[in-house]
Amino acid sequence: MPFYTATTHPQVKKYEDRRTGATRYLVRYRTDEHKLTMKRGFRTLRDAKDFLVEQESTKADGSFIAQAAGRVTVGEIARPWLDHKKAVSSKTYGSTLESSWRTHVEERWAEVRISAVKSTAVRDWVAELADEKSASVVIRAYGILAGVLDDAVADRRLARNPARGVALPKKVSAPRRYLEPAEVEVVAETVWAPRRMLFLVLAWTGLRWGEAVALRVRDVNQVRRRLLVQRAVEYTAGEWHVTDTKGHQRRSVALPKSVYTEFAQHIRDLPDPDDLGPDRLLFPPARTKGGYMIAPRKSAERPDRPGKVRVDWLEAALTTVGLPYMSPHELRHTAASLAVSAGANVKSLQRMLGHKSAALTLDTYADLFDSDLDDVAERLDGVRQSARREHNLSTTASDSAPSGETPATSSVQLIAETGTSG
């Protein structure tokens, strides 16, 4: 045990480092909870005194961080963070976070003390991960680490989050595809008959898959030709879960009259073997009793049956009419495109798609509103033409200023002719 000697400061002691023989200083001080603690290893008396001043300052402004608080590992505080996220998120998202933690974060950071996490180390980890994984995977893994350390800051275990501010790879969105109205109808004629109505609902209303297959007969307003969207389902870890909609808000979507005519017949033809009446599903699964319909996927060779490829109904219909594969979720984009082409504004489209805000809708589908720029240009042209007529100026390009005349000269002539001045 080192032998401590007094210094000119009552809270600072001097001692000799046994390994190096160098003089070092120890500081004894009280935490914000008045517990006596110490920190040693200071090289100079000034450094020790400066540390004391800093601690008193942080206690005064409420930002004091106890030295022992940073000794917990990332793994120790990650579990409560993950449990909270899973409690307030959908089953699918919670499962995704858990998988990302185990696969990409736990091995690198679980045993690291939070006080030892450095911004440069986080930066290097992100770069290494980005060399092998997609931007989405990297951003999710980084978000877990940053979120855990945010909790450490909130609990006053860290003064700041060393993960925040690290540059992340950019997501590159694939070009969005939209079916034309005629293409929607051609595909609908080709879709396997029991799925035709579901395809039309997805393409003309923009419902998410989980929202559509959760619909029941009692969710149909036959007077207004509307569907009440108030729940969704998701399939996670081999189990079905009924959840709120993504935006946690109920909404109703209107069916085009011609689509509803077929839809009404679809309801009349629905079987009801369990005598559920209005509680029976609008789009029941083909075989699985008591479950919901699983979304069709792109064909792939089955690992359990080499050489056997299963083609789902949506891909089969698209291939038959010569269109490339698109997922059921892409039909949501088609519905947005059809609505905008029919004159829907951003607010109407937001309500139809169940987005949290109109800003999100516009950010997602800005390309669909490009024609608005043409309308603005047309209106601006009208303003310009009116201004020129007001000053008896030609509204045609052929009568513009002579080629040898400078813009400044034209401006002077205009002032002289109209009798105005700046």
**In the prediction, which pLDDT does 216 show?**
95
0.75 surpassed by pTM: no
Q: Is the pLDDT of residue 415 over 50?
A: no
H or E element that contains 412:
helix 407-418
Mean pLDDT of 101-108: 95
| Structural contact between residues 57 and 49, judged by C-beta atoms closer than 8 angstroms | no
Query: What type of residue is 71?
Result: R
Helix, strand, coil percentages in the chain from 3-state DSSP, rounded to 5: 50, 10, 40
Q: The domain 181-301+311-364 belongs to what CATH superfamily?
A: Intergrase catalytic core (1.10.443.10)
**In the prediction, which pLDDT does 315 show?**
94
And the tokens for 413?
């002539």
Q: Is the pLDDT of residue 34 over 90?
A: no
Q: Is the pLDDT of residue 144 over 80?
A: yes
| CA 134 and chain centroid, separation | 15
**In the prediction, which pLDDT does 51 show?**
87
And the tokens for 401?
């200023």
**In the prediction, which pLDDT does 362 show?**
86
**In the prediction, which pLDDT does 416 show?**
43
Q: Which of 148, 164, 156 is nearest to 63 (CA)?
A: 156
**In the prediction, which pLDDT does 195 show?**
94
Mean pLDDT of 338-358: 90
Domain residues of the chain, as ranges? 5-64, 96-154, 181-301+311-364, 378-395+405-422
Confidence of residue 235 (pLDDT cuts 50, 70, 90): confident
Q: Mean pLDDT lowest for which of 1-10, 152-161, 394-403?
A: 394-403
**In the prediction, which pLDDT does 69 show?**
65
Give the C-alpha separation, 379 to 117, whole Å. Answer: 57
Mean pLDDT of the chain: 86
**In the prediction, which pLDDT does 409 show?**
46
Q: Mean pLDDT lowest for which of 220-229, 245-254, 308-317, 401-410?
A: 401-410
Please list, in sequence order, all residues whose beta carbon lies within 8 angstroms of the beta carbon of residue 294, skipping any fewer than 6 positions away: 235, 285
Confidence of residue 55 (pLDDT cuts 50, 70, 90): confident
Mean pLDDT of 337-366: 90
Mean pLDDT of 95-100: 93
Q: Is the pLDDT of residue 182 over 70?
A: yes
Give the C-alpha separation, 323 to 315, whole Å. Answer: 9
And the tokens for 331?
């039909």
Q: Is the pLDDT of residue 75 over 70?
A: yes
The fraction of the chain above a pLDDT of 70, given in percent, is 87
And the tokens for 1?
């045990």
Mean pLDDT of 27-36: 81
Mean pLDDT of 67-72: 72
Q: Which of 282, 321, 304 is nearest to 194 (CA)?
A: 282
Mean pLDDT of 138-167: 92
Rg (CA), the chain: 33
Q: Is the dihedral of CA 276, 281, 285, 288 positive or negative?
A: negative
Q: Is the pLDDT of residue 370 over 80?
A: no
Mean pLDDT of 120-138: 95
Biggest distance spanned by C-alpha atoms of the chain: 99
Mean pLDDT of 10-33: 88
**In the prediction, which pLDDT does 249 show?**
85
**CB-side neighbour CA atoms (13 Å) of 281:** 19
**In the prediction, which pLDDT does 414 show?**
45
